[in-house]
Amino acid sequence: MKRLVDVAAIIRSKNSGPFELTMDVIFTDKDNYEKFLKGKYMNSHKISELYKIPLKDVVDIVEFPGALAVKATIIRPLPSGALGERDVYGAQQHVPLMMMELSGWD
């Protein structure tokens, strides 16, 4: 089965302030981007399932056609740098999203 990494060009995570983590998926191929949006692959439920977090911790999913991009923002499990922190910049939290399976892609 196709995974997100097979169709998107950039898949990344990063802090958006010390309390949120935001993930960007950027395509270079317009057809793939539209197919991805149409298939509603990235939604709050999916993010909650991939990261095993409560649905209420998924803040927002935003489409940004100008950059052929979709964003998902979640509440950080801990504020950046708090005791128990694993990734101060939040730059290595992208893998579950990157490996997301795209059922019915082809």
Partner 1 sequence: MKKEFRILSPNGILGYGFPEESFNIGVAQKPDLIAVDAGSTDPGPYYLGSGQPFTSRSSTKRDLEFLLKAALDLNIPLVIGSAGGSGANPHLERDREVLHEIAKEQGYSFKVAIVPTELDKNYVAEEFRKGNVVSLDGAPEITERDILDTVHIVAQMGLEPIVKALDEGAQVVLCGRAYDPSSFAAPAVRLGYDEALATHLGKILECACIAAVPGSASDVMMGYLYEDSFAVEPCSPKRKCTVTSVCAHTLYEKANPYILPGPGGTLDLSECTFEQETERRVRVRGSKFIPQVKKNVKLEGTKLMGYRTISICGNRDPFFLMALDDVLEGVKAQAEDNFKSKNIDYKLDFIVYGRDGVMGALEPEPGVISGTKEVGIVIDVVADTQEHADTVCGAARAMMLHYGYPGRVATAGNLAFPFSPSDAHMGAVYNFSAYCLLENEHPEDLFKCTVYEIIDGEPENTEPARLSRMKGGLNEKTS
Interface contacts to partner 1, rule CB under 8 A: 10, 14-20, 22, 24, 26, 28, 50-53, 59-60, 62, 64, 66-69, 71, 73, 75-89, 92-93, 95-96
- By C-beta, is 66 or 104 nearer to partner 1? 66
Identity of the residue numbered 91: A
Q: C-alpha distances in angstroms, 57 versus 33, 48, 65?
A: 25, 8, 24
- By C-beta, is 59 or 105 nearer to partner 1? 59
State the DSSP code for 36: H
- Measure the CA angle with vertex 42, ends 1 and 57; round to 5°: 125
Please report how close the Cβ of residue 63 comes to partner 1 at its closest, in angstroms: 10
